[in-house]
């Protein structure tokens, strides 16, 4: 069984320490978190966590069940196999020289990304997209020298279905 990446969406009660509880659970059970993104939802008192976990299917099954046991976790879905929209935002600070600047700008345009900061020897690229898009852009920018990267981690939502908080 090869380790694969699974995307879990957890709706949690917005009580103090809930992020800690979830993260603590992962550490204690030895599960590998690739990323967590948390934020409020359309329902008051409910937050949404999007967690990318890697492991084989037996491991991920245990992750799901152990997370379900956490009292503050209201609903948990593994949406890896479903029809989803997945997005991430990244800020990338790239080294620039007068010679390389226009080429970098062209690449940024092709990816429909934005330049949000310009300095004499660097600029910051803001890009939103799925994992493939961000990886491709990063690969291209690496050859120019990437000074700093900040990523939010994956956000995901199933297509066309009613809000999972009320479902």
Helical ranges in the chain per DSSP H: 18-29, 57-69, 98-110, 131-142
Both tokens of 104, joined, read 């970098």
Helix axes 57-69, 18-29, angle to 10 degrees: 140
Nearer to another protein, 12 or 127 (CB): 12
Which residues here bind another protein, judged by CB under 8 A? Answer: 12-13, 16-17, 20-21, 24-25, 28, 58, 61-62, 65-66, 68-75
Shortest distance, position 50 Cβ to another protein, whole Å: 17
> Quick count: other Cβ atoms within 10 Å of Cβ 136?
15
Q: Which is nearer to another protein, 28 or 159 (CB)?
A: 28
* CB closer to another protein, 110 vs 165: 165
Cα–Cα dist 55/6, whole Å: 8
Least Å from the CB of residue 62 to another protein: 6
Q: How far is the CB of 75 from another protein (least distance, A)?
A: 8
Which lies closer to another protein via its Cβ, residue 18 or residue 156? Answer: 18
Give the number of other CB atoms < 10 A from CB of residue 165.
Answer: 13
């Amino acid at each position: 069984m090869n380790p694969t990446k699974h995307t879990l969406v957890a709706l949690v009660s917005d009580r103090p320490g809930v992020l800690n509880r979830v993260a603590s659970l992962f550490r204690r059970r030895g599960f590998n978190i690739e990323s967590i993104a948390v934020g409020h939802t359309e329902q008051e008192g409910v937050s949404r966590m999007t967690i990318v976990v890697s492991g084989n299917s037996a491991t991920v099954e245990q992750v799901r069940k152990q997370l379900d046991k956490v009292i503050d976790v209201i609903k948990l879905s593994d949406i890896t196999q479903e029809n989803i929209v997945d997005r991430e935002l990244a800020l990338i600070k790239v080294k620039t020289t007068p010679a390389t600047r226009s080429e970098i700008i062209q690449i940024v345009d092709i990816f429909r990304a934005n330049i949000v900061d310009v300095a004499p020897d660097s600029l910051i690229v803001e890009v939103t997209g799925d994992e493939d898009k961000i990886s491709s852009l990063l690969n291209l920018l690496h050859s120019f020298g990437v000074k700093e990267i900040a990523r939010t981690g994956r956000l995901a939502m199933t297509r066309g279905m009613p809000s999972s908080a009320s479902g």
